[in-house]
Every structure is written in C-alpha cells, then in structure tokens.
Amino acid sequence: MTEHSVVIVGGGPTGLMLAGELALAGVDVAIVERRASQDLAGSRAGGLHSRTIEVLDLRGIADRFLSEGQVAQVAAFAGTPLDISDFPTRHPYGLGLWQNHIERILAGWVGELAVPIYRGREVTGFAQDDNGVDVELSEGQSLRAEYLVGCDGGRSLVRKEAGIEFPGWDPTTSSLIAEAEMAEEPELGIRRDARGIHSFGRLEYEIRDGEVVYLDEGPVRIMVTEEHPGPAGEPTLRDLSEALIAVYGTDYGIHSPTWISRFTDMTRQAAAYLDRRVLLAGDAAHVHAPDGGQGLNTGVQDAVNLGWKLAQVVNRTSPESLLDTYHAERHPVAARVLRNTMAQVALRRPEARTKALRDTMSDLLSMDEPRRRFAAMMSGLDIHYDLGEGHSLLGRRMPDLDLVTANGPLRVFTLLHDARPVLLNLGEPGGFDITLWADRVQLIDAKYVGTWELPALGAVTAPTAVLIRPDGYVAWVGDLTQQGLADALTTWFGSPIAA
Ligand SMILES: Cc1cc2nc3c(=O)[nH]c(=O)nc-3n(C[C@H](O)[C@H](O)[C@H](O)COP(=O)(O)OP(=O)(O)OC[C@H]3O[C@@H](n4cnc5c(N)ncnc54)[C@H](O)[C@@H]3O)c2cc1C
C-alpha cells in the first residue's frame, strides 16, 4: 500500500494551499482529486481579498496572482463598497481573478514543490486507527496516511464519514448562476425586483477608474434569483431559461452554456475541525452564501493556519495537541463569516422595509469608524487569534515592515517565504539567545524606524521584539524583557532541543 504522511482529499484552492504549506515544511504529502485535470467548470469565485494576497506574499507568490488579475477596491458589505486604500498594508486592495485562474496558479506552485496529485481518483471511504488512516480510492486502490485532511468541499465525504456534525441553517433563497451565449444583447449590470437580485456581466472585464467595464464580446455570466429555493441536483438550460423569462420577460435567446449551477444561502459549520487523525478545512468545514466573496479566502487561510502545525506534529517537533489550536483559532473566524453572510442575505431581501434597513446600514458604513471596522473584517485584515492578554499585536497579523539588517534592507514577509518562524529582535543586536530552538526558529536582528499601525486599530506601541509564526501571526511580543519567550517558543514550536 502506498504511504504518505498526509493525504489531502480535494485539490481545490484549500487543498492546493495546504499541500504547498506541508511541502515547504518537508512533509510527504499527496492530494487525491476527483477531477481529471485542474480545469474548473465555470469561473466560481471572483477573486482575493487583501489578507489572502498578503498570505500569498508571505510565501513569495503574490506577484503570480497580481500579474494576472485586476487590482480593485472589492471589499463590500451588503452592497456598500468599503474602500481600504488608506489601510496600512502593502496590498490595500483586492484582486479580481476568477477561481479557475487562482487554482491554475496554485497548482503550478504545488507542482514546483513536487507534490504528487492522484487525479481522476475519488476517495470513497477511510478507517482511522491509533497510528494512521487507511484511505480507499475509487478503482480499488488504497493509501495509508498518518493524517487525512478533507478539503473536499461543502458536500465533504470526509466530514460525513468521520461523523462530524454540520449544524446550521437550511437555504431560504437560491440563485442560478451560469455562463452562456445569448442571441440578443442583455443590459449588463444588476437588477433588483420583488424576487431579489439578478445580474448580467461578462467573463472578460477591465477595471477602469475603479469601475468594472465589460468587454463587448464573449460569454455572458448570468445570475438570477429563483422564486423559491431550488431543488438539489444540477439545474438545466430549461430551468435557467424559465427563470430568466420570469424576471426579464425573455431569455435573450440563451444557448451553448458552458456552466449552469445553483448557489444558496445554506449556512453550516462543522462542529469540530478535527477528529483524531482526520481534519477538515475550507468549504468542507463551512458553507455560507457567497455575499462578500469570503469562501475561498477563508479556505486558503484555514490551510495556512493548519499547514505548519500539522507539519510540526508529523515531524515530531510538536505534540498532537497543537492541532487543537487549529480548531480553536479557525472555527471562530468562519463563525464570524457565517454571521456576516447571514446578515447580508437578510439585507438583500427585496421588500421596502429591508431596503430601508439596507440604506440605513449604508449610511452607517459611510462613517469612518464603521467603514474601517467592516472593511477590515471583510478583507480579513482584522483577524485576531485569542492568544491571551497582552500587546495589541499578540495574535494579530505581523505588518510587512521595511527592516534594516546587517545584510541590508529586508521586508518582514521575505523572512517567511520558507514558512519558518522568526524571532525578530528590534532592540540591542545579540540580545537574544535561542540556541535551543535554533533548528526551528530564525533569529533576526534588525532595525525599524517607522510607526507601527494595524488596520482598524491604528497606531500601536512599538515592541522591542516579536515572535512571528509561519502563518504571519504574532505569537509573542517583547517589551525590553524576555518574559514568556521560552514558554511561547515551546507552545508554538516544540520543546527545546536539550529537553
Ligand atoms: C457563485 C459563487 C461565487 C463565489 N464567489 C466567491 C468569491 O468571490 N470569493 C470567495 O472567497 N469565495 C467565493 N465563492 C466560494 C468558493 O468558490 C469556495 O469557497 C471555494 O471553492 C472553496 O474551496 P475548497 O478548496 O475548500 O473547496 P472546493 O473548491 O469545493 O474544492 C473541493 C475539491 O475536492 C474535490 N473532491 C470532492 N470530493 C472528493 C472526493 N471524495 N475525492 C476526491 N476529490 C474530491 C472536488 O473535485 C474539488 O476539486 C463563491 C462560490 C460560488 C458558488
């Protein structure tokens, strides 16, 4: 039986990102993916938020995405745009880039890291014991892994087979989404009526002066809200045609669809992100309405939270209990996404009182403080893992500062390209000795002269040292003393060598 340390089920955005993270840490990881190639039917997610771009920047691959997409102010809440151009980040914007391109670029990176992908193969079941998991594949093949991670989407077989509860709310609304040709020219843009929101756009577009300008030709991207939540199962061209006629009085001679799908506001979250040797990430762990474009972003960031932790457990530098922090940190993040998408779905309802509420929210969000807070939430820049009391940086994203080191200027994010933790000493050079963790943690002496500013929070006190985790979050902050450093190093990166 073929063995791997970690088997990932599903090579969508979450599975690919996780595979890259594990490979960087030297873990023997493989992906099993049902699709025969990375090609995706339909474009699905429309892009990346600021924090996800930052996370890709941590690994030195953000430019691959930025060079193919279109930078724009994409953060919004219930249709109210939230400008983040004044935020203290190197990427104060989002990126318009369809999911099929995001997956292709991620797959290219994972290929460079030589991760094997069993394509055209489906995981059909598994059994876990004290030492690992036997994974059954279609066509009778099987794999053995120390850990199995379900990145297999909202209908996750891994979640179901593990018996993990998926509590939440059934759909109240559904929309058909499609890409097709139309004989007649529809008016592009959004329409609201008694049923809800509908839209026509084109796959190909440019951002000019902050506005989406569709190209004159090419397939039309259609979104039409249905009268009642549609049934499970694949919608047909006929369903789409009927829904269009009900809203627009015509189907514009729709033909040659390349993708027809249905999304709903079903809102559910896995009660546990792990069960012994089986873990969940991405849509397998949380599903919600697409409002605000947060699903893919949350999945990729789940992967970056889990990757280094799972690698340390597999490499025996940390105890299994480190994996509990994955649930503890990421479950609340997705719970908040579920809450804000439910609120946005409620606010998109068509009747007059809801419109009044939506307009009131919009008025509130035009004020600076609410705008900053909601923008930081929707772009993922305000994520705060609860690592206890302390400095404002503790548990928050490390800013990408321009440092001066003995070897010249350096960006903080550059230090994290290999996904190895960093103790950044901004005080007296040579003031730290972490020899006992030297095999795992980089010690960098540097100077930084600017201010310290966090999105939504504003200026914070300059620390004299910070311990930065591979996912770019701050695990310990020094204020002239080294109190608590040894504990933080042990908690996050394992016992000292001599112990
Ligand atoms: C209309 C729409 C618009 C959206 N817009 C946005 C947006 O703008 N921004 C955003 O962040 N998100 C958006 N999303 C959500 C986003 O598409 C998902 O959150 C994202 O694809 C989740 O990634 P994933 O890797 O977790 O799961 P998936 O993309 O679902 O990938 C799961 C993979 O697992 C494979 N698989 C499943 N079962 C098995 C099995 N048993 N064996 C082997 N392989 C298996 C599948 O083939 C698939 O490749 C949108 C979604 C929709 C529907």
Distance CA 392, CA 461 (A): 8
pLDDT of residue 290: 96
Alpha helices, DSSP H only, in 276-323?
A: 295-314
Of all atoms in ligand 1, which is nearest to the CA of residue 40?
A: 49
Of all atoms in ligand 1, which is nearest to the CA of residue 175?
A: 1
Structure tokens at 144: 């053995």
CA angle 211, 214, 216 (to 5 degrees): 145
CA of residue 365 to ligand 1 center, whole Å: 30
* pLDDT tens track for 442-485: 999 999 999 999 999 999 999 999 999 999 999 999 988 899 99
SS3 state of residue 168: strand
Pairing label, strands 123-128, 133-137: antiparallel
Q: Span 489-495, mean pLDDT?
A: 97
CA of residue 155 to ligand 1 center, whole Å: 10
Structure tokens at 366: 């035009």
Of all atoms in ligand 1, which is nearest to the CA of residue 15?
A: 25
CA of residue 283 to ligand 1 center, whole Å: 6
Q: Span 385-413, mean pLDDT?
A: 96
- Among protein residues, the one with the nearest Cα to ligand 1's atom 31 is 12
CA of residue 38 to ligand 1 center, whole Å: 12
Distance CA 259, CA 256 (A): 9
* pLDDT tens track for 77-133: 999 999 999 999 999 999 999 999 999 999 999 999 999 999 999 999 999 999 999
pLDDT of residue 498: 65
Q: How far is CA 373 from CA 13, 234, 367, in A?
A: 27, 39, 10
- Among protein residues, the one with the nearest Cα to ligand 1's atom 13 is 45
CA of residue 287 to ligand 1 center, whole Å: 10
Residue 358 and residue 79 in contact, taking contact as beta carbons nearer than 8 Å: yes
3-state DSSP of 230-258: CCCCCCCHHHHHHHHHHHHCCCCCEEEEE
Looking at the DSSP assignment, which residues form a beta bridge with residue 33?
A: 119
Q: Which of 50, 152, 198, 199 to mutate to test the pocket of ligand 1 (most atoms within 8 A of CB)?
A: 152
Distance CA 418, CA 397 (A): 17
pLDDT of residue 208: 86
- Among protein residues, the one with the nearest Cα to ligand 1's atom 5 is 45
Q: How far is CA 17 from CA 13, 24, 400, in A?
A: 6, 11, 21
- Among protein residues, the one with the nearest Cα to ligand 1's atom 38 is 152
Report the share of the chain in percent with pLDDT over 90: 90
Instruction: Give the closest residue to 317 by CA, choosing from 27, 70, 30, 104.
Output: 27
CA of residue 69 to ligand 1 center, whole Å: 19
* Local confidence band at 164 (pLDDT 50, 70, 90 cut-offs): very high
* Local confidence band at 217 (pLDDT 50, 70, 90 cut-offs): confident
The answer, yes or no, to whether residue 401 has pLDDT greater than 70, is: yes
Sign of the CA dihedral with 261 first, then 264, 266, and 270 last? positive
pLDDT of residue 306: 98
The answer, yes or no, to whether residue 329 has pLDDT greater than 80, is: yes
CA of residue 136 to ligand 1 center, whole Å: 22
- Among protein residues, the one with the nearest Cα to ligand 1's atom 7 is 293
Distance CA 227, CA 440 (A): 57
Q: Span 395-410, mean pLDDT?
A: 96
CA of residue 296 to ligand 1 center, whole Å: 7
Of all atoms in ligand 1, which is nearest to the CA of residue 99?
A: 17
Q: Span 225-239, mean pLDDT?
A: 90
- Among protein residues, the one with the nearest Cα to ligand 1's atom 21 is 296
- Among protein residues, the one with the nearest Cα to ligand 1's atom 46 is 10
Q: How far is CA 381 from CA 58, 297, 398, 472, in A?
A: 14, 12, 10, 12
- Among protein residues, the one with the nearest Cα to ligand 1's atom 27 is 153
The distance in angstroms from the start CA to the end CA of the chain is 36
Global model pTM greater than 0.75: yes
- Among protein residues, the one with the nearest Cα to ligand 1's atom 1 is 44
Instruction: Give the closest residue to 277 by CA, choosing from 325, 320, 322.
Output: 320
* pLDDT tens track for 35-69: 999 988 888 899 999 999 999 999 999 999 999 99
* pLDDT tens track for 347-360: 999 899 999 999 99
The answer, yes or no, to whether residue 155 has pLDDT greater than 90, is: yes
Q: How high does pLDDT run on average in the chain?
A: 95
Looking at the DSSP assignment, which residues form a beta bridge with residue 36?
A: none
CA of residue 199 to ligand 1 center, whole Å: 22
CA of residue 301 to ligand 1 center, whole Å: 14
Residue 149 and residue 310 in contact, taking contact as beta carbons nearer than 8 Å: yes
Q: How far is CA 416 from CA 53, 114, 419, 422, 443, in A?
A: 14, 20, 5, 8, 12
Contacts of 216 (CB under 8 A, 6+ apart): none
For residues 334-370, one letter each, b for 16 or more C-beta atoms within 10 angstroms of the residue's C-beta and e for the rest, the string is: beebbebbbebbebbeeeeeeeeebeebeeebeeeeb
Which position has the token pair 């089920």? 9
pLDDT of residue 499: 53
- Among protein residues, the one with the nearest Cα to ligand 1's atom 2 is 44
Q: Span 10-23, mean pLDDT?
A: 98
Of all atoms in ligand 1, which is nearest to the CA of residue 122?
A: 42
Which residues are near ligand 1 (CB < 6 Å)? Answer: 9-15, 32-35, 44-47, 99, 122-123, 151-153, 157, 177, 263, 282-283, 290, 293-297, 299
Of all atoms in ligand 1, which is nearest to the CA of residue 152?
A: 34
CA of residue 115 to ligand 1 center, whole Å: 20
Structure tokens at 259: 């993708």
Q: Which of 7, 32, 34 to mutate to test the pocket of ligand 1 (most atoms within 8 A of CB)?
A: 34
Instruction: Give the closest residue to 285 by CA, choosing from 303, 268, 297.
Output: 268
Phi/psi of residue 357, nearest 5 degrees:
-65, -40
* pLDDT tens track for 363-383: 999 999 999 999 999 999 999
Residue 28 and residue 73 in contact, taking contact as beta carbons nearer than 8 Å: no
Tell me the Cα Rg of the chain.
23
Distance CA 142, CA 121 (A): 11
CA of residue 191 to ligand 1 center, whole Å: 27
For residues 114-135, one letter each, b for 16 or more C-beta atoms within 10 angstroms of the residue's C-beta and e for the rest, the string is: ebebbeebbbeebebeeebbeb
Secondary element (H or E) of residue 341: helix 324-347
Phi/psi of residue 459, nearest 5 degrees:
-70, 140
- Among protein residues, the one with the nearest Cα to ligand 1's atom 50 is 45
The answer, yes or no, to whether residue 263 has pLDDT greater than 60, is: yes
